[in-house]
């Protein structure tokens, strides 16, 4: 039932094979439509720079999109969004093995998700 109705304030999104996992989110949140727009743009081959102009040269790698994304019912105009990103971890059997030390995990997150999200973006773990 928690996939449809909030239970203790949360709903759950169930993800089938090959991941077989669940994703909990606030019960009054809904699926973020911006994820669908991004998926459709990616499928159609459109690419946009931070200035909003079509790029299409394919010089930089595309920022990863979340597997699922949620936002408040008021929409994304609130600036809030919650997403689940998935990445292959190789032969690691624990989260600690996959992420490494705390400093390695921070650097990996910045490198993978923040730097790759805008052309010419640079970020440093503080």
Question: Residue 25, class by beta-carbon neighbours within 10 Å (0-12 exposed, 13-18 middle, 19+ buried)?
Answer: buried
Q: In the chain, how long is the greatest CA-to-CA distance? A: 48
Domain ranges of the chain: 1-86, 87-126
The pLDDT tens digits of the residues spanning 96-120 come to 787 888 888 888 877 776 655 555 5
User: Is the pLDDT higher at 125 or at 32?
Assistant: 32
What pLDDT, in 10s, does the model give residues 40-54?
A: 888 887 655 444 444
**pTM over cut 0.75:** no
Side-chain half-sphere CA neighbours of 67 within 13 A: 16
């Amino acid at each position: 039932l928690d996939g449809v109705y909030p239970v203790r304030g949360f709903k759950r999104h169930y993800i089938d094979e090959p991941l077989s996992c669940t994703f909990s989110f606030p019960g009054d949140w809904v699926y973020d439509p911006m994820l669908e727009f991004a998926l459709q743009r990616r499928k159609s081959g459109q690419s946009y720079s931070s200035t909003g102009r079509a790029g299409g040269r394919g010089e930089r790698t595309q920022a990863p999109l979340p597997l699922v994304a949620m936002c408040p019912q008021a929409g994304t105009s609130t600036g809030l969004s919650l997403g689940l990103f998935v990445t292959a971890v190789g032969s690691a059997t624990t989260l600690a093995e996959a992420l490494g030390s705390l400093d390695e995990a921070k650097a990996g997150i910045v490198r993978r998700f923040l730097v790759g999200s805008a052309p010419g973006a640079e970020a440093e773990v503080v």
